[in-house]
Structure 1
Amino acid sequence: MFAGSIVALITPMDVRGNLCRSSLRKLVNYHINSGTSAIVSVGTTGESATLSHEEHGTVVMQTLELANEKIGVIAGTGSNDTAEAISLTKRFENSGVIGCLSVTPYYNRPTQEGLYQHFKAIANSTNLPQILYNVPSRTGCDILPETIARLSQVENIVGIKEATGDLSRINQITNLVKNDFILMSGDDATALDFMKLGGKGVISVTANIAAKQMVEICQLAHQQDFNKANKLNQSLMFLHKVLFCESNPIAVKWAAKKLGLIKSDTLRLPMTPLSVINQLQVEQALIKSGLQM
């Protein structure tokens, strides 16, 4: 369930900032038809920080409904408040989600013991599989390999999305955890190298707009056909990087609208639309990657 190309799905909104169900349907069908392994609904790329709790639940449940069991759905359930993360997690029990993705607590900057107790408490509150999400560039908080090893002993903590971009972390973690603990990349630019070193796949931003290509890269890596994988990945490398020219998901939402995958690239404040100068960069990346002629 947790391997290959998993998309960190954007949350499409109309021009008023409300959920756009028709665009969500189009996105879900796009990923079903492209062979994407699973969808992460309302992760951080899905703008969890600016959705209300009610909206958060609505987006996940609508994604499940539209997926209609044709593609697995992972719910983003992270918070910097342990009680809130538990509440979100329990909301999706018996809903049909295949697991939860839980980001490290942002701003609080807990100690390693605090991180351990936080994720352990969440896992102990549910039977749903839990995937840790480590992205210190956004949260100011880093789960160290030794803490990941402790958490891997908790029965339903099954893996981690590692978005540090530090490839040395893979061996550090692998040497400390059980063989069945799943390592997923959270950094598109280094994802193929991550898989070469034993990672099982990527939870991807780029897959929002280049789903088939990301699926193929992961399949080629699984087959250890790295020559073809490298060639395809290189064609996307400019795109991988340009999608982060402004804070995610600003650029990828603009690109998705440009490609006709969503009706509007609306974001909620404090996120603002992609600047004109970076629109030119993203458009060049779309052309260079063959997504737009």
Structure 2
Amino acid sequence: MFQGNMVALITPMNKEGNICLESLENIINYHIKNKTKAIISVGTTGESSTLTQKEHINLVLCTLEISNNRIPIIAGTGANSTNEAIILTKKFEKTGISACLSVTPYYNKPSQKGLYQHFKKISENTSIPQILYNVPSRTGCDLLPKTIKKLSKLKNIIGIKEASGNLSKFYEIKYLVKKNFLIISGDDSTALDFIQLGGNGVISVTSNIAAQEMSTICNLALKKKFKKARKINKKLINLHKILFIESNPIPIKWFAKKIGLIKNSTLRLPMTQPSKKTKKRILKILKSTKLKIKKENNFNIFKKNF
């Protein structure tokens, strides 16, 4: 169902820290124009941890409305409380959401048994397809291949976003799960290698500002045209790295504002703006990659902030 370049969408905010729907419309149109295959709305890159539940739900629904069936929308619905994750997931039943992306519970450090029961309970309480999300560097727990195998047998768990960057782990997962189980990279730096090994695509941070390039890389890789894909990817290597020089989404939001995709790079505390040193490094990368963004400026649906 999902393959190629998918974007972990940033959440644009105005100077006061409220969600800016004008910028949201702009970046959604940008992704549709550049053939991004799906938008992940209010995932961890979308700052789900600092939005209220009401804002979270409204933002996903606004993303659905703006996209108007032009691109699949995947809702971020993960939480470190199983009950909270279920409540959030159920809010999107019969809304048109294509799937939910559910991150492993953060801070709790659950056992593998706890992780299995967590995702099993969510699966039992929804009909929406579920994509697991493993990012141990941010959550403090690691969803292991044997647990992924057990979860892949549940009725509506259709895949995993594996963001450990560990390519050997990909082989383990691929060997253990059924053929149609999606294995999607969550690490831009290794995404091309991931697809070459048999992965389905990437949920990308880089794509927020380089959608056309990431789409082309993924399309070429899925057609096994790896030489051409690597030629383009080589130009983005430094960009992939600089976007994580400080905690995501600090660099990517500042970058997106600098090239005109969003009006402000506002983040909510405890996230702050990048340091002067980071800004200088970002500007250097911006100059070397020569990213050209054509702003959509079709702000016809919303003229206000939340």
- What is the Cα deviation at residue 289 of structure 1? 1.6
**1:273-288 map, 5 Å:** 273-288=273-288
Aligned residue for 1:288, secondary structure, equals helix
1:257 aligns with 2:257: yes
- Quick check: 60-69 or 279-288, which moved more? 279-288
Residue in 2 that maps onto 1:270? 270
Distance 2:118 2:287 in 1: 44
Q: In structure 2, what is the Cα distance between the partners aligned to 1:196 and 1:258? A: 33
Task: Give the deviation of 1:284 after TM superposition.
Answer: 1.4
- Point out the more displaced range, 46-55 or 278-287: 278-287
Structure 2 partner of 1:57: 57
Q: Percent identity?
A: 59
Separation (CA, whole Å) in 2 of partners of 1:19 and 1:53: 13
Look up the match of 2:128. 128
Computed over aligned residues only, the root mean square deviation of the Cα atoms, in angstroms, reads: 0.9
| Residue of structure 1 in register with 2:74 after alignment | 74
Using the alignment, how far apart are the partners of 1:277 and 1:94 within structure 2?
46
Partner deviation per Cα, 1:94-136 (whole Å, 9 max, x = no partner): 1111000000000000000000000010011111000000000
**Shift >6 Å, 4+ stretches:** none
Distance, in Å, in 1 between the alignment partners of 2:118 and 2:58 is 25
Cα offset, 1:292, TM superposition: 5.7
Q: What is the Cα deviation at residue 79 of structure 1?
A: 0.2
Letter in 1 for 2:98: I
SS at match of 2:5: strand
Query: Is 1:240 aligned to 2:240, yes or no?
Result: yes
Aligned-partner Cα distance in 2 for 1:59–1:259: 23
Amino acid at match of 1:237: I
1:49-80 Cα distance to aligned partner (Å, 9 max, x none): 00000000011000000000001100000000
The corresponding residue for 2:205 is 205
Q: State the secondary structure of the residue aligned to 1:89.
A: helix
Q: Conserved in 2, the CA contact under 8 Å of 1:286 and 1:292?
A: no
Q: Match of 1:223?
A: 223
Shift of 1:155: 1.4
State the one-letter code of the partner of 2:239. Answer: L
The amino acid that maps onto 1:258 is K
1:73-152 matches, within 5 Å, as: 73-152=73-152
SS in structure 2 of the partner of residue 175 of structure 1: helix
Counterpart residue type for residue 92 of structure 2: F
Per the normalisation by structure 2, the TM-score is 0.95
**TM-score normalised to structure 1 length:** 0.99
Amino acid of the structure 1 residue aligned with 2:289: S
Gaps of 5+ in 1: none
Q: Could you tell me which amino acid in structure 1 is paired with residue 21 of structure 2?
A: R
Please give the alpha-carbon distance, in whole angstroms, between the structure 1 residues aligned to 2:285 and 2:159.
32
2:7 maps to: 7
Provide Cα deviations, 1:211-261, integer angstroms capped at 9, x if missing partner: 000000000001100001011001000000000010000000000000100
Partner residue of 1:44?
44
Rounded to whole Å, the distance in 2 between the matches of 1:216 and 1:115 is: 35
Contact 1:23–1:261 (Cα < 8 Å) also in 2: yes
Q: CA deviation at 1:2?
A: 1.2
Offset of residue 40 of structure 1: 0.1
Question: What's 1:171 paired with?
Answer: 171
Aligned 8 A contact 1:39 1:71 in 2:
yes
Structure 1 counterpart of 2:21: 21
Give 1:191's aligned residue.
191
Greater RCO, 1 or 2 (C-alpha within 8 Å, sep 6+):
2
The aligned amino acid for 1:187 is D
- Structure 2 residue matching 1:39: 3-state secondary structure: strand
The separation in 2 between residues aligned to 1:27 and 1:65, in whole angstroms, is 14
- Which consecutive residues of structure 2, in runs of 5 or more, have no partner in the other structure? 294-306
- Helix, strand or coil: the match of 2:261? coil
TM-superposed CA distance for 1:288, in Å, is 1.7
Task: Encode CA deviations 1:164-190: one digit per residue, 9 max, x unaligned.
Answer: 000001110011110000000000000
1:283 and 1:39 map into 2 onto residues whose CA distance is: 26
Contact map agreement 1:243 1:251 (CA 8 A) in 2: yes
Q: 1:258-292: per-residue Cα shift (whole Å, max 9, x none)?
A: 01000000000000001111011111112222216
CA distance in 2, matches of 1:125, 1:113: 19
